[in-house]
Chains A and B, each alone.
Chain A
Amino acid sequence: MKKNRITLRQKRAIVGLLFIMPWLIGFIVYYVRSLILTTQFSFSLVDIADTGGYTTSFIGLDNYKYALTQHPQFNQILVNSITNMLIDVPFITFFSLFIAILLNTKFKGKTAVRAIFFLPILLGSGAILQTLNLATLNLQGGAASTIAEMAPTSGVNVDYYIGIFMELGLPDQLMTYIINLIGRIYEIVRASSVQIIIFIAALQSVPSSLYEVSKIEGATTYETFWKVTFPMVSPLILTNVVYTIVDSFINSDVVRIAYTTAFSTYDYGLSSAMSLLSTVIVCAILFVVGAIITKFTFYYN
C-alpha cells in the first residue's frame, strides 16, 4: 500500500484554500492591484488616450496639494461629511438598538411592523432614491413654491415647542444637536434599518436563562438592560458602528465629488488623491473608534 505523503491536516488546509480561492483571486486581481494603481494615479498626471488607455507622469504630491489647498470645495465637503458622520453614528447606533429592543418584544402585527422597518433598505438608497430626488429637484423654483403654499400645514407650531425647551435651560448645543437630528429623522430612520436587523439578530441570541436569573435576583428592567442586554449585544455594537460609518461614508458628498472629478472632468489623478485622502481618514476614524469600543466590549465566550 502506498504511503500517504500528505497528512490530514495538510489536506484540509489545501481544501480550505480551495474554498476561498475564488475570493482570493478576486481580491488580488481587483483589490490589491486597484489599490496599488490608485496610489500610483494619485501621484501622477493621468492622460487618457482615445482608445481608453492612459499614460501617467509622476508629479509627486501636487494632486494632494491641489485637493487640499486649491480645490474650491473639497476641503469643506470633506470636513462636512466627516462631521455629519460623527454626529450621526452615536445616535443611529442607540436608536437602532432601542428600536430593535422594541421590535424584539411580543406584540400583534410584529411581522408587519418589521416589514415596514425593512422598507427603507429598498426605498432609501440607490436608483430609487435618486429618482425621487430628481423628481423633487425638478420641482424647485416656481412650481415648488406653489406646491408649498398649496400643501396643508400640519397645524403644529414647531418653533413654539422648541421655544419651550429652550426656556427649560437645556444647553444650546444639545438643543441644536437634537433639533438637527429630529429635522433629519427620516434620513436617520432610513440609515438605521440594516443596523436594526443586525441588533434583532443579536438580541435573539442572548440566552433567556440570563434574563430569568436577573429576574429571580430582583433586578429592575433598567438594571437588566445595562447589566445583561447591553454587554451581551456589545460585540454587535462594534459591527454596527463600523457599518454605519462605512455606509454614511459611501453615501457622502466626498464620494460624489471624487466620482464627478473622475468622470465629468476626467481628472483621474486628482480623483484618486481625493479618494485616498478620504479613505485614509475614514480608516483612521474606524481604527480609533474600533479601539475604543473594543475596550468596552464584552465577549461571552
Chain B
Amino acid sequence: MKVNDIVVQLKRINEDTVLINKKSRYLHKVKAFLFSVLKFIILLGISYIIIGPVISIISSSFFSSTDVYNPSVFLFPLDPTLDNYRLSYLRLDYWKTLGFTMLYISAITLLQVFIASMAGYGFARFEFPFKGFLFGCVIITIVIPTHTIMLPIYQHFRNWDVFGIFQAVLGHKLNLLSSEAPMVLMTLLGCGLRSGLFIYIFRQFFRGLPKEIEEAAFIDGAGMWYTYFRIMLVNAIPSVITVMVFSMVWQYNDTFYSGLFSIPIEHNITVRLSTLQATIGFLDNIKDPNISQLNVYAGLILVLIPILLVYLALQRYFMEGVERSGIVG
C-alpha cells in the first residue's frame, strides 16, 4: 500500500513538473517570438534609414526633366529615361577614369596590405628595444588627425628631394604634386590612409595565431622572411581581406589626400563625380540644379556600382575575416 502511495505521489509530481516545463517552454517560446519581432522591427527600421536615400537616388536617376516638376510623381517616374545615365557616362569619361582609379586603388591597397602586415608581424612576434614605445607611436598615428600634418607634407612633396640628390643632378627639387606619387610614397612607407589602423589589426591578428606554426617552420629550416611570406601571410588571409576591403573603400572615397595632393580628376572617379554638376552646367548648358542633379544621381549610381561589386565579392570573406581577425584589444 505504502509503495503504491509513493508511486502515485511521484507520478503526480512528475505530471506537475511536466506541466510546469510545458508552461515555461510555452512562455519561453512567446518571449523568443516577441524578441524576434522586436528585432525584426528595429533592424528593418534602421536598414530603411540606411537604404532609404539610396532608393530615392536610384529612382530619381531615371526621372526625365518633366517628371521633376510634376507634383504627382513620387518614386516612380512617369516618363522613365536613360538620358541622365548617358550624359553622366559621357562626361565622366567612365571607363577610362574608372580604369585609372581602379589601377590606382589596387596598387595602393596591395602596398597597404604588404607594408602594414609586415609592420604588424614585426610588432606581434619579435622582441626589440623600444618596442612598446614604437607601438605607442603607431597608436599616435591613428589618433592624430591628418590635417595636423598636412602643411609640412604638402610642402615636402611640393619640393621633394632625397638627401639633395635631385638638387645636385637637376638643379631643382621635384614637384610631386598633381600626381599619384605622394600617396604611393606615403603608403610605401606605412603612412598612407589609415595605415596605423591596419598595422593595429594585423598585429592583433598575428598575436592570435599559434606560435607552433612558426616554430615548426623554423625547425624545418625556413628563414624568417620565408616564414612570413609563405606561412604567416597565408594564414592571415581573413585579416588580409578585411584590410583590403577597408583600404579599397576608403581610398576610393578619399577626398582629403586627393585634394591635398591635387591628384588629377581624370584619374579619380569620385572626385570627378563631385565636379560633374559644374561640368554639365558648363558643357551642356544645363543650369537648372533640379535637372543637373538628376545627372549627379545617375553618375553616383555609376560610381557606386563598381566598388559595390568589389565589396559584394569580398563581403563573405570579409565578415568571416573580421570575426576571425580578432581585433580584440
Residues of chain A whose beta carbon lies under 8 Å from any beta carbon of chain B: 9, 12-20, 22-27, 29-31, 33-35, 37-38, 41, 51-54, 99, 102-103, 105, 107, 111, 113-123, 125-128, 130-132, 134-135, 138-139, 143, 147, 150, 152, 185-186, 189-190, 197-198, 200-202, 204-205, 235-236, 238-239, 242, 246, 249-250, 255, 258-259, 262, 268, 271-272, 275-276, 278-279, 282-283, 286
Contact = CB atoms under 8 A, between A and B. Distances in A.
B326 to A, nearest CB: 5
Contacts of B142: 242, 246
Interface string B162-200: 000000000000010000000000101111000100010
A122 B128 contact: no
B191 A26 contact: yes
A201 to B, nearest CB: 5
12 contacts: A16-B128, A23-B195, A27-B141, A27-B191, A111-B319, A115-B312, A117-B50, A135-B297, A139-B289, A200-B319, A246-B145, A279-B144
Interface in B104-126: 115-116, 118-119, 121-123, 125-126
Contacts of B199: 23
A9 B36 CA distance: 55
A54 B155 contact: yes
Contacts of A121: 246, 249-250
Contacts of B236: none
Nearest to A110: B319
B43 interface: yes
Contacts of A115: 311-312, 315
Nearest to B146: A250
Interface stretch (B1-9, B11-19, B270-278): B270-278
B279 interface: no
A107 B36 contact: yes
Contacts of B25: none
Contact of B122 (A16, A99, A236): A16
Contact of B141 (A31, A189, A283): A31
A197 B322 contact: yes
A25 B189 contact: yes
Contacts of A147: 290
B119 A201 contact: no
Contact of A19 (B40, B122, B322): B122
Contacts of A9: 127
A38 B322 contact: no
B103 interface: no
Nearest to A46: B151
A23 B189 contact: yes
A128 B270 contact: yes
B229 to A, nearest CB: 12
Contacts of A114: 319
A52 to B, nearest CB: 4
Contact of B118 (A20, A31, A205): A20
A258 B156 CA distance: 19
A20 B146 contact: no
Nearest to B129: A13
B329 interface: yes
B300 interface: yes
Contacts of B224: 12, 15
B32 to A, nearest CB: 10
B143 interface: yes
A239 B327 contact: yes
Contact of A123 (B54, B151, B326): B54
A22 B190 CA distance: 6
Given A52-B158, A282-B145, A128 B293 contact: no
A242 B145 CA distance: 12
A295 B131 CA distance: 24
Contacts of B59: none
A255 B303 CA distance: 27
B125 A16 contact: yes
B285 interface: no
B145 A22 contact: no
A38 B329 contact: no
Contacts of A54: 155
B159 A128 contact: no
A279 B274 contact: no
B177 to A, nearest CB: 9
Given A19-B119, A200-B322, A239 B273 contact: no
B126 A279 contact: no
Contacts of B53: 123, 132, 186
Contacts of B123: 20
Contacts of B149: 30-31, 34-35, 38
A26 B190 contact: yes
B115 A22 contact: yes
Contacts of B125: 16
A255 to B, nearest CB: 5
Interface string B310-329: 01100110010011111111
A111 B125 CA distance: 34
B127 A12 contact: yes
Contacts of A236: 327-329
